[in-house]
Structure 1
């Protein structure tokens, strides 16, 4: 991208460093760690500039700033420039847009890479044509595409949409992500595991960074759910053992938020403040656990543990909304003035931006009595669980 846009010299080196270093703040299980870092981060101890960004981005900045090996090979001023570029931007606008924007190199890479490694075709698009379409009419202005590149961008945006709908929001992906996140919550809040707490409670100190960089997926699993011996935390260990043995939670409920209910409270379910959403999720989990225990005829000693029931909501943006990144649109270089891509694309003008999919789901630690009847059971449980969610929503709001 940089070469296509005639970015050279020190700017090219800066972009290369930013590309190499932009995800160094990810912990075990990469993006899955973000929710736990944001939840447990000690924001009272963070510097003002660290509070401006997501926790994993603040961790990335501290690693770039303090890592001994990086300090040896990259000058201080250059590391600070990389940190600024990954944050609010540095120098010309195009540098930030190559690294993080609606057409950035990261998206161009991961769509093709993830499509290949998942064995699907959803993420394919014409990379060469897309990059040939990139233009920079004003060296100090915004990255744009030329008029002939509209169809290439349409293909790229649709690839992103289809990968999100079919891979990134796939049921099994959602379940495993939520199981890891819940295991971390249980390890810190129920099992009182000090090593896990230290790992996820970012306080902006050098000690946190030194410890954080010692952890990866393998060490996490072997520490908190060892193959041999008992785990240090009974609840977190049990959840992680389920992952290790592929005894995944089951989706017992799924429903769209909004239609066909036309209930304002239901439609705004995803808009809850995270602490209020947590209260709602726990209340729903309590009721669903008791309900499923009764429905499945489980004895008291085998009753479903509410801590292992997860109520979760998620959304899939419309293809039109997916064409933007943090409200920053893709511009087409047309005369007399550049226009938004969604106005120049006949295809995207025909897409209603409101056509987004939002769902609420419930996962539970059950085994289907008979796999052939699971759809019938889900159908039988749907209205009771839906009513539980709506009732608890009403209590949360009041």
Structure 2
């Protein structure tokens, strides 16, 4: 469909009887008007030449303004058509009034974080908000455009994270991923041209470094199980950790959300918080022993097993998220002390329960079964995860060569 952009005098007078000078944008037979902010008497308008008559005291200045607005509108139309096959007169008007090219990184970042909050993706929000903050503070420019985000700037930012903030290479990559996500969003919105994209094989590469996942051994877990004379807080942290481990490293957030009503017929039935999967596990005898510690505090069938969520506002996702986050931090503090008491030389955190299950299972369990236990959506994820703990074949191969 054809487009038509003209300067004109809109025949809609204000209270003083003057008419607005506008850019008329017609697309697919729909018209929108972009106001210049100037009004004149109708006698000064030359309809044939579409300009302000010379008899107007400011005719030269107003006509130059109209020429510039017309050129801007036509250039905007060309730019938009480069990115989109079909655009409306309203879109053209919006772009002229508030050019996308002037949209800053912070503008897009704020909208992105707002979307995460509105959709209750609070874990992502917590992580990405900090990462956006690192970059915004580093550039110290709220008006930084996406055109200014090039390889050189990203390399300086990476070095800043490593040297000034002392973060790991994995954390550096996580920060770059957020910037890449926002840059891709800016490309889709037509804010920046794809040819300026600073990421890629020959530019800024997003590649996670290999990380060593260390889990506890059977003997080390037995030493934790056997600990006595623990304070109430430490005993509780130990119980939650063991509960997680006994169920293949269930995430702390899922453990804390378990209700007594989720347990029946000797099984735990729950919906995984990360991907909403509905799962069912037969409870090991060791878990049944743990549950006895909390039965006396059971108020009703729908009550939470563990105390951290009992006073949570279940209608407020932020309150739930904050209580899980606070509890996880508290558990990890006590687990450090538990590790010392058990004479462990390894780091002990809630997440290590998952690594420990992987370390002990090794290659004893078929990978498809491990996928179910870990609640992974893809078996490929399970293969990559479990590869950290499967050493028997390499150990046997090494022995065959050197044992002579």
TM-score in terms of structure 2 length:
0.20
Structure whose alpha-carbon radius of gyration is higher: 2
- The structure showing larger relative contact order (alpha-carbon pairs under 8 Å, at least 6 residues apart) is 1
Higher helix share: 1
Q: TM-score normalised to the size of structure 1?
A: 0.20
